[in-house]
Amino acid sequence: MMEKIIATDRYQFTAEDKAEIEHCLHHYDDSRAASIDALKIVQRRHGWVPDNAIAAIAEILGIPGSDIEGVATFYNRIYRQPVGRNVIAVCDSIGCFLVGFEEIYSALKKQLAIQPGQTTADNRFTLLPICCLGACDRGPVLMINDDTHFDVSVEKLDAVLEQYL
Amino acid sequence: MSSNVNLGLNNISAETHPLTWRYNKNNAQPILDLKTYESLEGYSALRKAIKEMAPADIQTLVKESNLRGRGGAGFPTGIKWSLIPMHENAGQKYLVCNADEMEPGTFKDRMLMENLPHQLVEAMIVSAYAIQATRAYIFLRGEYVLATERLNQAIEQAKAAGYLGENILGSGWNLDLHVHTGAGRYICGEETALINSLEGRRANPRSKPPFPQIAGLWGKPTIVNNVETLVNIPAIILRGAKWFRNLSQGKSTDAGTKLYGVSGRVKNPGLWELPIGSSAREILNLAGGLKDGLELKAWLPGGASTDFLLPEHLDLAMDYDTIGKAGSRMGTGLIMVLDNQHNLIAAVRNLEQFFARESCGWCTPCRDGLPWTVKVLEAIEKNQGQAGDIEFLEQMTRALGPGKTFCAHAPGAMEPLQSAIKYFRSEFEQGIKESPSL
């Protein structure tokens, strides 16, 4: 029984992902440095980093799984629990505060009926705060997945959200 | 494109605007192909450096130029470089570009990388040559997706042209340049935390000494410079140290130009390349001043971790020493303005929430002191402050001040708080609940 659980539970990289992680090793003088790259590759595949992938990454890099977990839980852009199909990251730093991000944040919470850190029931959106996105002359700013949206207003929110299914 | 750049400026040339003139010459369009960049003096500094100059010559030139670090601390670049071992047995050395732009209010490096990726690539190559590094990294924040794509494209083009890789321009010197993208956390911008992050560790800062120049990335000599700092180097190589020192036009003892910016409720927020030491008023005027009906209440000169200044400070030169003497720091030089309709206590609460969340948790004053500070500020914001809360906050500014923590994160967090109490104490007092009469 035990054997079966371990065998079926073992994380399987796709050949493509594994090759990409191994390629990343060439960029550094120590394999540990590819930790973040590897976590991102796994996350790109699943939207988040599943538990069993931690050990699998550790095995490729030749370092303890606890170290990978330490890294995975430190960085806010690595998700250790499932997220929705689209991740909304709202800049909540002072630059966007000065131009009224709080209004947008409230509107998003209300419209999606979730709090930051939560995912909508239809799994469409996860809402998170993020550090200054470096576009303060065009705030409020938010990111959805890899797209940055500038000059966001409560009025424009619907048009922005409907681009993401 | 994200930013308005040099709005309202005329007569932009290579001699006057070394950081942005190419962008301007290209009709404010990004320069993504090698040929266009080459047609605008691109890679000519690299050719000059490799054909005519020894690494030590470039180091001397950078020292003489009086270039100071544009990431916020203003440390002289030449002095930073001079600590790197240059003897034959120095072994592997690294150059790392700090492109983890996350200081709230700062949007200059994004502009430089998205619009002028080759300019940074060339700057990295000449700087790596000057310290004889053979591996270089651009530590780029993961959210800068467009910059990642464009820098990688520029690197591929530079490789194909023989500017990167092995035996660069016949010099016998090799350089491998890689863009490493991060996974978040403000603390990665701290030089030693950045090195830990690049090594694939949690981004906790390291104790200094040893300084990275002696024992940095993987324990080897490493130079970490900000994007804006580095992109000055090719121009210094082409036009000399004296030219660079004169760029400030007597406005400052500092040298060169600076990318200044303004955000907040102003008419034309944006970014301008100006002589370093230009006054905050000049910069604010370029931004068109505040929107109609608003008045300036206070301003942060260069990021969340700088002390507030007042309207009376607007005529000060925006350089490291002048702003330092006024009790703040120039920081990244991108101004944020608070107007009379902002709630100052709420703004300070927002700033401290940011620092509390972004603390790496390594040392106690920062990890525990910042959330506690937020709690007290939240109470004051709701007019629920207790007697003694202001004194408590003042105590925090000392307990979390310079020398009390492992790195500059908590001291940086205390800068806006201490100056807010200094200048706007009455607003804090208004948030203290009146004690019940006996």
Q: What is the pLDDT of residues B260-269, one digit of tens each?
A: 999 999 999 9
- Residues of A with Cβ-Cβ distance to B337 under 8 angstroms: 98
**Tokens linked to B15:** 């001699």
Residue A127 β-bridge partners: A88
Contact B199 A33 (CB under 8 A): yes
Q: What is the pLDDT of residues B284-298, one digit of tens each?
A: 999 999 999 999 999
Q: What is the pLDDT of residues A85-134, one digit of tens each?
A: 999 999 999 999 999 999 999 999 999 999 999 999 999 999 999 999 99
Q: Do A100 and A62 sit in the same domain of this protein?
A: no
User: What is the sign, positive or negative, of the torsion defined by CA atoms of A113, A119, A124, A125?
Assistant: positive
DSSP state of B189: G
Q: What is the pLDDT of residues B115-139, one digit of tens each?
A: 999 999 999 999 999 999 999 999 9
- Residues of B with Cβ-Cβ distance to A39 under 8 angstroms: 183
Show the CA angle centred on residue B172, arms to residues B167 and B175, nearest 5°.
55
For residue B3, what pLDDT is reported? 72
What is the number of alpha carbons within 13 Å of residue B266 lying toward its C-beta? 27
What is the number of alpha carbons within 13 Å of residue B413 lying toward its C-beta? 34
Identify the residue among B5, B94, B179, B201 best suited for mutation to test binding to A, counting A beta carbons within 10 A and taking the highest: B201
For residue B433, what pLDDT is reported? 86
- CA-CA distance, B257 to B303, in Å (whole number)? 19
Q: Do A131 and A106 sit in the same domain of this protein?
A: yes
Which band of pLDDT confidence, cut at 50, 70 and 90, is reported for residue B8? Answer: confident
- Among the partner residues B105, B346, B347, nearest to A132 by beta-carbon distance: B105
Q: How many helices (H) and strands (E) does chain A have?
A: 8, 4
For residue A7, what pLDDT is reported? 42
**A2/chain B closest Cα distance in angstroms:** 33
Reduce the DSSP state of residue A91 to 3 states and report it.
Answer: strand
Q: Do A69 and A133 sit in the same domain of this protein?
A: no
Q: Do A119 and A66 sit in the same domain of this protein?
A: no
Statement: residue A57 has pLDDT above 90: yes
Which band of pLDDT confidence, cut at 50, 70 and 90, is reported for residue A3? Answer: very low
Question: Strands B176-181, B135-140: parallel, antiparallel or unpaired by DSSP?
Answer: parallel
Statement: residue A5 has pLDDT above 90: no
Q: Would you say residue A7 lies in a domain?
A: no
Q: Do A56 and A110 sit in the same domain of this protein?
A: no
- CA-CA distance, B65 to B244, in Å (whole number)? 6
Question: Which H helix or E strand runs over B88?
Answer: none
Contact B183 A36 (CB under 8 A): yes
Contact A33, B198 (CB under 8 A): yes
Query: What chain B residue is nearest to A77 in terms of C-alpha separation?
Result: B183
Q: Do A150 and A123 sit in the same domain of this protein?
A: yes
Q: Do A21 and A70 sit in the same domain of this protein?
A: yes
Contact A93 B185 (CB under 8 A): no
Q: Do A156 and A96 sit in the same domain of this protein?
A: yes
- State whether residue A103 sits within 8 Å of chain B by CB: no
Q: Would you say residue A2 lies in a domain?
A: no
- CA-CA distance, B75 to A30, in Å (whole number)? 30
Q: Cis link prior to B210 (omega < 30° from 0)?
A: yes
C-alpha dihedral, B381 to B387 to B390 to B392, nearest 10°? -120
- Among the partner residues A76, A95, A134, nearest to B185 by beta-carbon distance: A76
DSSP assignment string, B382-438? TT-BPTTHHHHHHHHHHHTSTTSSSSSHHHHHHHHHHHHHHHHHHHHHHTBPPPPP-
Contact B103, B136 (CB under 8 A): no
Contact B203, B139 (CB under 8 A): no
Q: What is the pLDDT of residues B323-342, one digit of tens each?
A: 999 999 999 999 999 999 99
Q: Would you say residue A27 lies in a domain?
A: yes
- Residues of B with Cβ-Cβ distance to A135 under 8 angstroms: 2-3, 107, 110
Report in angstroms the alpha-carbon separations of B153 from B118, B179, B336: 9, 11, 33
DSSP assignment string, B280-341? HHHHHHHTTSBPTT--EEEEESSSTTS--B-GGGTTSB-SHHHHHHTTS--TTSEEEEEETT
Report how many domains make up chain A: 2
DSSP assignment string, A65-86? HHHHHHHHHH-TTS-SS---SE
Contact B261 A94 (CB under 8 A): no
Query: What chain B residue is nearest to A28 in terms of C-alpha separation?
Result: B199
Contact B297, B424 (CB under 8 A): no
**Tokens linked to B113:** 């990388």
Q: Do A95 and A149 sit in the same domain of this protein?
A: yes
* Host domain of residue A91: 86-162
Q: Would you say residue A8 lies in a domain?
A: no
Contact B255, B275 (CB under 8 A): no
Statement: residue B346 has pLDDT above 70: yes
- CA-CA distance, B55 to B170, in Å (whole number)? 15
Contact B144, B117 (CB under 8 A): no
CATH number, position A133? 3.40.30.10
- CA-CA distance, B227 to A101, in Å (whole number)? 28
Which band of pLDDT confidence, cut at 50, 70 and 90, is reported for residue B438? Answer: low
Q: Would you say residue A110 lies in a domain?
A: yes
Other CB atoms within 10 Å distance of the CB of residue B139? 21
Q: Do A151 and A95 sit in the same domain of this protein?
A: yes
Q: Would you say residue A134 lies in a domain?
A: yes
Q: Which of A53, A74, A95 is the last residue of a domain?
A: A74
Contact B70, B319 (CB under 8 A): no
Contact A137 B144 (CB under 8 A): no
For residue A9, what pLDDT is reported? 82
Statement: residue B6 has pLDDT above 90: no
Show the CA angle centred on residue B88, arms to residues B84 and B91, nearest 5°.
65
Indicate the average pLDDT of chain B. Answer: 96
Which band of pLDDT confidence, cut at 50, 70 and 90, is reported for residue A2? Answer: very low
Q: Which of B204, B211, B264 is nearest to B407 (CA)?
A: B204
Q: Would you say residue A37 lies in a domain?
A: yes
C-alpha B251: how far from chain center: 21
Q: Which of B258, B240, B239, B256 is nearest to B248 (CA)?
A: B256
Question: Which H helix or E strand runs over B262?
Answer: strand B257-263
DSSP E strands in chain A: the ranges are 86-91, 125-130, 142-144, 147-149
For residue B4, what pLDDT is reported? 80
- CA-CA distance, B264 to A10, in Å (whole number)? 51
Statement: residue B437 has pLDDT above 70: no
Statement: residue A1 has pLDDT above 80: no
Reduce the DSSP state of residue A40 to 3 states and report it.
Answer: helix
Other CB atoms within 10 Å distance of the CB of residue A119? 19
**A69/chain B closest Cα distance in angstroms:** 10
For residue B435, what pLDDT is reported? 63
- Residues of B with Cβ-Cβ distance to A36 under 8 angstroms: 182-183, 197, 200
For residue B123, what pLDDT is reported? 98
Higher pLDDT, A66 or A8: A66
Q: Do A118 and A157 sit in the same domain of this protein?
A: yes
Q: Do A36 and A56 sit in the same domain of this protein?
A: yes
Contact A134 B183 (CB under 8 A): no
Contact B79, A111 (CB under 8 A): no
- Among the partner residues A32, A70, A94, nearest to B304 by beta-carbon distance: A94
Q: Which of A47, A74, A101 is the last residue of a domain?
A: A74
Q: Which of A49, A74, A99 is the last residue of a domain?
A: A74
For residue B434, what pLDDT is reported? 75
The secondary structure of B112-176, three-state, reads HHHHCHHHHHHHHHHHHHHHCCCEEEEEECCCCHHHHHHHHHHHHHHHHCCCCECCHHHCCCCEE
- CA-CA distance, B6 to A138, in Å (whole number)? 15
Question: Strands A142-144, A86-91: parallel, antiparallel or unpaired by DSSP?
Answer: antiparallel
Report in angstroms the alpha-carbon separations of A25 from A16, B109, B285, B392: 15, 27, 50, 49
Q: What is the pLDDT of residues B365-377, one digit of tens each?
A: 999 999 999 999 9
Statement: residue A6 has pLDDT above 50: no
Q: Would you say residue A65 lies in a domain?
A: yes
Q: Which of A96, A78, A4 is nearest to B106 (CA)?
A: A96
For residue A111, what pLDDT is reported? 97
Residues 6 or more apart whose CB falls under 8 angstroms from that of A161 comprise A111, A125, A144
Contact A98, B264 (CB under 8 A): yes
